[in-house]
Amino acid sequence: MICVHMKKKFILIDDDPIFIFLNKKVLETTTCMESVQDFTSGLDALENIKNNLDNIEKVVILLDIRMPIMDGFAFIDELKKTVGSDINKFIIYLLSSSIYQADIDKAKQYPEVRDFLNKPLNTDKMESVCKELMSL
Amino acid sequence: MSLLFSPEPEQLEKLFPFFFVLDRKLQILRKGESLKKISGDEIYFKEHFSFVRPSLGIKYEFESIQRFQEQVFLLRILGIEKKIELKGQFIYDKQNDLLYFWGSPYIKSEKDFENTGLQIKDFAIFDWNISYLQVNNFLRIEQEDKEKLKYQFERQKNFYELLFDHIPMDVAILNSDLKYIFINRSAIKNAEIRNWVRGKTYLDYARYRNLDLDIASEREQNFRKIIDNGEEFFYEDTYFKGTEQEKTIYRNMLPYTSHSGEKYILAYGIDITMVRKASEEIFNKNRELNKLNLELDGLVYSVTHDIRSPLHAVLGLIDVIEREEQLNAQTEEYVSLIRSSISRLDETINLIFDYSKNARTELQSSEIDLEELIQKSYDHNIKELKNNVRLILNQNNPFKFYSDPQRVLIILNSLISNALMFSRTNVDAFVEISFRVDKDYCEIEIADNGEGIQAKHYDLIFEMFYRGSKKSIGSGLGLFICKEAVEKLKGSLTFTSYPNVGSNFIVKLPNDLCSHEKEIHSY
């Protein structure tokens, strides 16, 4: 059995509502999810995080890379500016339909990025993520 | 001459074959054999000869001639067509009261000699005429040789100057004083200026042409180095800069030392305008191409991503339907067909992306675990194609294999998916993959017992979009991209195949071991 306090809060950021819907469905079936919030733009997510920063203890962000206006990397840049040293409260997974070398190279400059995940998520993939999160 | 008196007249007559003897009546008593050949039979002197010299005070009388004994006489022979003169001296013979004329024809040139109709043997051996002729002849021949040589030299000089004038490049020769001694027509078109330049320096010419004197004097310093140190020197001249007629001349100056040790500069200039233009064009085209390539990369990235994204959304939704809805058998089949259709489309997009990746990205080699890569590719394809072809894996790899993993995966994916796709259902279908790595090559053999390839398709299976079988549910891109990737890795791809027996593909890829580790690793 997994202890309740090991469960994590999740934030989903994806401009495509179908993926929000699908990924939420998968998250609901996983064992390590305590709650999930979703945003269709990085700006909305940032706004929300800024307002609730004090209440955030540890949060897992599942972040789509390719989004209009503010892509995944730009979101991380802004997040760091906004939260400062609180950045270690955030565990970030990048989501993409296909994983390109150029994105992998770029991600190496971001120590906050934990890993890449292929879209759409499925239960198997999420369970291995859960295992990883619990070992943290 | 006085010495000649002691010998006998007979002996003297031999020495002077043109002699004659006169008595007091000026009758010719005797004459020499050679004189007989060029004169008539007249008896009296006056009928036979006229005085050319002396001409004043001389009379056709014995005493008168006797008085002029100390003089040289020139006597014109009369009664013949040719103009022949005898040159000689009269000597008085006291004993017999006779006058002897000792002399021979007056010959000033070879032509005169020929005119007499005489031969050399008609003259006395010592005769000064002959010596004169011989010396003259010698001088003439020498002169002729000189003329001939000079002519040949001139001809050669003209030939080379003409040649240099017609060579379609600038040629000039400067001496050790850095003065032009030759300049061809291509270098300076105007003949007047060309002549003027001879003996002038480059700086003189630059002044005349209003060229930049700083550059000119700097160049002349370099010319000096060519003479002093034997260094080669080159520079480029651009004329009509910025206009339609702009041209660039590449000038090369070479040191040259003649046989006699004199130093020269050989200068030549080639019009490299076209070369320059062509290389500029290539440079620009290249830049455009690179830009296009980058744009195409971006396009392929965007298109593949943007198409794949909604496809994956559809695949995700199909998952949800299958998991959450109670479907009847028919709907379940439809949903399954939708899934396989979407999966195939996704594979095609993947292949296009692979193609673009293979064509545009640099080779990046690293150590490859072939067993893992083959298993990964097999697992992926068996899941996509949903059949039960067995995998048999044989390996013999005492060496590590280094290559570009992305491209090796493209090759494996294409060959393995074909082996699975074209399997036969009425046999125990398998794909047998063997690989062997040595320090130079990695050889991968992918054999199946599938439906095989008919001979008529052999030449076509590597063509883009070619599909040779009804069973082919792919895009016709797989083997094409496989071949492209093999070529990119500088490897080779061969196959043998028999219908209803199976196919056997052999890929041979260079092992990039050396660039990674110098020593050879054995397990």
Sequence ranges of the domains in chain A: 4-134
Overall average pLDDT of the A7-26 stretch: 91
State whether residue A66 sits within 8 Å of chain B by CB. yes
Report which residue type is found at A38.
D
Using CB atoms, which residue from A18, A100, A122 is nearest to B301?
A100
Set of chain A residues whose Cβ sits within 8 Å of the Cβ of B311: 97
Using CB atoms, which residue from A66, A100, A120 is nearest to B313?
A120
Strand order in the sheet with B49-53: B28-31, B20-22, B98-105, B85-93, B73-77, B49-53
ipTM of the complex: 0.75
- Which positions ≥6 away from B98 have C-beta within 8 Å? B21, B22, B23, B29, B92
Candidates B312, B322, B347, B383, partner chain A, best to mutate (most A CBs within 10 A): B312
Q: Any idea which residue has 């269709």 for tokens? A: A40
Pick B2-126's CATH classification: 3.30.450.260, 3.40.50.720, 3.20.20.70, 3.40.50.970.
3.30.450.260
State whether residue A100 sits within 8 Å of chain B by CB. yes
Task: Judge contact between A112 and A78, C-beta under 8 A.
Answer: no
Q: Which residue of B has its CA nearest to A15?
A: B309
Coil/strand/helix, residue B249: strand
pLDDT for the residue numbered A76 = 95
Question: What's the Cα-to-Cα distance from A25 to each of A18, A20, B38, B317, rounded to whole Å?
Answer: 11, 8, 147, 10
State whether residue A124 sits within 8 Å of chain B by CB. no
pLDDT for the residue numbered B396 = 77
Q: What is the CATH number of domain B362-510?
A: 3.30.565.10
Beta strand ranges found along B408-469 (DSSP E) = 430-437, 441-448
Structure tokens at A15: 């401009």
pLDDT for the residue numbered B3 = 45
Overall average pLDDT of the A13-17 stretch: 91
Q: Which residue of B has its CA nearest to A26?
A: B320
**B2-126 with B362-510: one CATH topology?**
no
Task: For residue B282, give how far its alpha carbon lies from the nearest alpha carbon of chain A (Å).
Answer: 29
CA dihedral A23, A25, A31, A34 (to 10 degrees): 80
In chain A, what percentage of residues exceed pLDDT 70?
Answer: 96
Can you tell me the distance from the alpha carbon of A96 to that of A120, in angstroms, rounded to the nearest whole number? 8
Coil/strand/helix, residue A113: strand
Can you tell me the distance from the alpha carbon of B336 to that of B373, in angstroms, rounded to the nearest whole number? 28
Burial class of residue B344 (count of CB atoms within 10 Å of its CB; 0-12, 13-18, 19+): middle
Set of chain A residues whose Cβ sits within 8 Å of the Cβ of B305: 66, 96-98, 100
State whether residue B320 sits within 8 Å of chain A by CB. yes
Task: For residue A87, give how far its alpha carbon lies from the nearest alpha carbon of chain B (Å).
Answer: 29
Question: What's the Cα-to-Cα distance from B183 to each of B188, B205, B223, B336, B354, rounded to whole Å?
Answer: 7, 12, 16, 88, 62
Task: For residue A14, give how far its alpha carbon lies from the nearest alpha carbon of chain B (Å).
Answer: 12
Coil/strand/helix, residue B49: strand
Can you tell me the distance from the alpha carbon of B269 to that of B106, in angstroms, rounded to the nearest whole number? 65
pLDDT for the residue numbered B517 = 63
Can you tell me the distance from the alpha carbon of B328 to that of B333, in angstroms, rounded to the nearest whole number? 9
Task: For residue B306, give how far its alpha carbon lies from the nearest alpha carbon of chain A (Å).
Answer: 9
pLDDT for the residue numbered B41 = 83
Q: How confident is the prediction for chain A on average, in pLDDT? A: 87
Q: What share of chain B is helix, strand, coil (3-state, %, to 5)?
A: 45, 25, 30
pLDDT for the residue numbered B6 = 53
pLDDT for the residue numbered B2 = 45
Candidates A19, A26, A97, A119, partner chain B, best to mutate (most B CBs within 10 A): A97
Check CB contact under 8 Å for A98 and B317. no
The domain locations on chain B are 2-126, 167-271, 280-361, 362-510
Class of the CATH-defined domain B280-361: mainly alpha
Q: B9 — alpha (psi -120 to 50), left (phi > 0) or beta?
A: alpha
Candidates A64, A98, A116, A117, partner chain B, best to mutate (most B CBs within 10 A): A98
State whether residue A120 sits within 8 Å of chain B by CB. yes
Structure tokens at A122: 């499925």
In the A/B pair of chains, how many CB contacts fall below 8 A? 42
Check CB contact under 8 Å for A98 and B320. no
Q: Tally the residues of chain A.
A: 136
Can you tell me the distance from the alpha carbon of B129 to that of B152, in angstroms, rounded to the nearest whole number? 34
User: What part of B 2-21 touches A (C-beta under 8 Å)?
Assistant: none
Distance, CA of B245 to chain centre? 27
Burial class of residue B139 (count of CB atoms within 10 Å of its CB; 0-12, 13-18, 19+): exposed
Q: What is the CATH number of domain A4-134?
A: 3.40.50.2300
Report mean pLDDT in 10-residue bins for chain B, 523 residues.
Answer: 55 83 91 87 89 89 90 90 89 89 86 82 77 78 88 88 84 92 88 91 90 87 89 86 85 90 90 88 92 81 80 88 86 89 85 79 86 91 83 84 91 92 89 91 93 86 78 79 92 93 94 67 44
State whether residue B316 sits within 8 Å of chain A by CB. yes
pLDDT for the residue numbered B7 = 56
Which of the 8 DSSP states describes residue A63?
A: E
Question: What's the Cα-to-Cα distance from B344 to each of B59, B289, B338, rounded to whole Å?
Answer: 144, 32, 10
CB atoms near residue B281 (< 10 Å)? 10
Pick B167-271's CATH classification: 3.20.20.70, 3.20.20.10, 3.30.450.20, 3.30.460.10.
3.30.450.20
